[in-house]
Amino acid sequence: MKKTLSQQNAPIYEALERFGQMRVVPFDVPGHKRGRGNPELTALLGERCVQMDVNSMKPLDNLCHPISVIRDAECLAAEAFGAAHAFLMVGGTTSAVQSMILSVAGRGEKIILPRNVHRSVMGAMVLCGAIPVYVNPACDERLGIPLGMSLKDVEEAVRRHPDAKAILVNNPTYYGICSDLRSIVQLAHRHGMRCLVDEAHGTHFYFGENLPVSAMAAGADMAAVSMHKSGGSLTQSSLLLIGPEMSQGYVRQIINLTQTTSASYLLLSSLDISRRNLALRGKESFARVVELAEYAREEINDIGGYYAFSRELVNGDSIFDFDVTKLSVNTLDTGLAGIEVYDLLRDEYDIQIEFGDLGNILAYLSIGDRPREVERLVSALAEVRRRFGKEKTGLMTQEYLDPEVAVSPQEAFYAEKESLPIEATENRICSEFVMCYPPGIPILAPGERITREILEYIAYAKEKGCSMTGPEDPDILRLNVLKGV
């Protein structure tokens, strides 16, 4: 990083401004040529926007091999996040998570991870042939949600699989729950393993006060940070952070295996500007988000029937800490499933929330929220309960279904398969993913045995209106299973 640079700078953004003033004649891609070739698109996105959609070139650097302004932006990001290095990512946090896995494990090597990992982790294992060792996340009986990993469960996994290459941790989970990250990092390092952290929902940990510990502060080796979630950058932009023990050059090589060679400058500049915002104003911004979330929780808990949960759940282990910016609400006492409340809010009240599962909803609060929208959300929840609430009846809660890994995800994915009606697949080995989306946690992953329990759960979640994705057959009437196994 140049000595003159500070967090006040946004090198990519500044380079784009300078470049715009030069009025360079484009005989390069993109072919829309500053929007002139696609007037409808220009009308939709605005002239400024399409003029910034340019190609890598000398004054703007190149994401595959950054040496000037992108390099500077990465160094500033590393400084802001307390990392040894930061990589700007344009393939979503999915690409950041996959680069973490690909950086630490090869074919046949093990990774210890919680079952409630994002689908991107499973995808990376199909690519590299690593073997998952699942740690059963604890489950809260009342809320029906997966929690963090208990330290002794991780210790047990390490004891049984001392040859594992890495431990992966969600910090926090979609619901805002954090494991004891510092202790897990120490455990990993004691056993010569890397600690990787999926921080898709934790960008604000690096800037807010009184929030759970961030991966870099906890000493983790790598972290995938969704800048576009709580950080405010454009959708699909993300950061990959590494600690001092990782080789920057090797990680760059891994990223370049799958990352585009035409990175969008809209995404890159949005990362740059968001990093500057966070570094300069993140503390106050997230204090406001916390205040709004606390207020919303109080009001929602006042309605009755809803339980907006928070730090009171902390138990020093599987709920080591809680991210108070997450507005997670259990709906079961209203007699409504979370997914039903999610649909009612959208269809009846024009309010779109982040997700609804069987027993919970999550409303995503961020630096863009104002009190008046929170009032609407709370009132709509009160109205949903008044108009649609029922007696609490035997709603099945989301159960943790212990997976039985029969073959590696990669082997299963590429094996010869046959398609069977779903009811005929009991005891067979699945060759595809089945997810309940959102929140996108696998019910089945390639290589796992299909049990009666799993089939019942799929039928129930479908009936409740959860969107099920993954299998080749979109209606999930059939599943692909391994032939002859």
Partner 1 sequence: MDFWFSEEQTSNVKLSIRIDRQLYSGKSEFQRIDVFDSPEFGRFLTLDGYMMLTEKDEFIYHEMITHVPMAVHPKVRQVLVIGAGDGGVIRELARYPEIEHIDMVEIDPLVVEVCRQYLPQTACRLDDPRLHIHYEDGVKFVRRKVDAYDLIIVDSTDPFGPGEGLFTREFYGSCFKALREDGIMVNQHESPFYAQDALACQRAHKRIVESFPISRVYQAHIPTYPSGHWLFGFASKKYHPLKDLDEVRWNMRGLDCQYYTTTLHRGAFYLPAYVEEMLKDVE
Cα angle value 331/308/299 (rounded, 5°):
105
- Total residues binding partner 1 (CB under 8 A): 15
Of 375, 404, 423, 453, the residue at the interface with partner 1 (CB under 8 A) is 375
Using rule CB under 8 A, residue 387 touches partner 1: yes
Rounded to an integer, what distance in angstroms lies between the CA atom of residue 140 and that of residue 177?
Answer: 11
Rounded to an integer, what distance in angstroms lies between the CA atom of residue 303 and that of residue 384?
Answer: 11
Q: Which residues, 297 to 336, sit near partner 1 by CB under 8 A?
A: 299
Whole-Å CA distances, 341 to 185, 350, 363, 384? 38, 12, 11, 7
> Least distance in Å: CB of 382 to partner 1?
5
Q: Which stretch binds partner 1 (CB under 8 A): 41-49, 284-292, 382-390, 420-428?
A: 382-390
Report helix, strand or coil for 424: helix
x/- mask, partner 1, residues 249-288, rule CB under 8 A, reads ----------------------------------------
Q: Which residues, 181 to 220, sit near partner 1 by CB under 8 A?
A: none
> Least distance in Å: CB of 293 to partner 1?
16
- The angle, 0 to 180 degrees and rounded to 10, between the axes of the packed helices 338-349 and 371-388 is 110
Q: Which stretch binds partner 1 (CB under 8 A): 146-154, 156-164, 181-189, 376-384?
A: 376-384
> Least distance in Å: CB of 82 to partner 1?
35
Using rule CB under 8 A, residue 386 touches partner 1: yes
Using rule CB under 8 A, residue 380 touches partner 1: yes
Select 267 or 380, whichever has its Cβ closest to partner 1.
Answer: 380
Rounded to an integer, what distance in angstroms lies between the CA atom of residue 17 and that of residue 265?
Answer: 12
Of 372, 394, 452, 474, the residue at the interface with partner 1 (CB under 8 A) is 372
Select 163 or 375, whichever has its Cβ closest to partner 1.
Answer: 375
Residue labelled with tokens 């090198």: 11
Select 284 or 348, whichever has its Cβ closest to partner 1.
Answer: 348
> Least distance in Å: CB of 380 to partner 1?
4
Of 191, 376, 464, 478, the residue at the interface with partner 1 (CB under 8 A) is 376
Residue 71 makes CB contacts below 8 A (sequence gap 6+) with: 61
Residue 137 makes CB contacts below 8 A (sequence gap 6+) with: 114, 115, 116, 146, 147, 148, 149, 173, 318, 400
> Least distance in Å: CB of 285 to partner 1?
18
Query: Which is it for strands 194-199 and 166-170: parallel, antiparallel or unpaired?
Result: parallel
Q: Which stretch binds partner 1 (CB under 8 A): 67-75, 358-366, 374-382, 418-426?
A: 374-382
Look up residue 332 and give its DSSP letter: G
Let me know: does 204 contact 230? Beta carbons within 8 Å: yes
Residue 57 makes CB contacts below 8 A (sequence gap 6+) with: 28
Rounded to an integer, what distance in angstroms lies between the CA atom of residue 71 and that of residue 324?
Answer: 34
x/- mask, partner 1, residues 143-182, rule CB under 8 A, reads ----------------------------------------
x/- mask, partner 1, residues 332-351, rule CB under 8 A, reads ----------------xxx-
Select 248 or 379, whichever has its Cβ closest to partner 1.
Answer: 379
Residue labelled with tokens 């910016």: 325
The residues pairing with 414 across neighbouring beta strands, listed in sequence order, are none
Select 292 or 434, whichever has its Cβ closest to partner 1.
Answer: 292
Select 23 or 387, whichever has its Cβ closest to partner 1.
Answer: 387
Rounded to an integer, what distance in angstroms lies between the CA atom of residue 475 and that of residue 120?
Answer: 22
Rounded to an integer, what distance in angstroms lies between the CA atom of residue 293 and that of residue 224?
Answer: 24
User: What's the distance, Cα to Cα, between the start and end of the chain in Å?
Assistant: 56
Q: Which stretch binds partner 1 (CB under 8 A): 133-141, 368-376, 396-404, 468-476?
A: 368-376
Select 151 or 292, whichever has its Cβ closest to partner 1.
Answer: 292
Of 379, 419, 451, 469, the residue at the interface with partner 1 (CB under 8 A) is 379
Residue 240 makes CB contacts below 8 A (sequence gap 6+) with: 86, 87, 89, 96, 99, 100, 222, 223, 224, 225, 251, 255
Select 349 or 364, whichever has its Cβ closest to partner 1.
Answer: 349
Select 59 or 371, whichever has its Cβ closest to partner 1.
Answer: 371
- Residue numbers at the binding site for partner 1 (CB under 8 A): 299, 348-350, 371-372, 375-376, 378-380, 382-383, 386-387
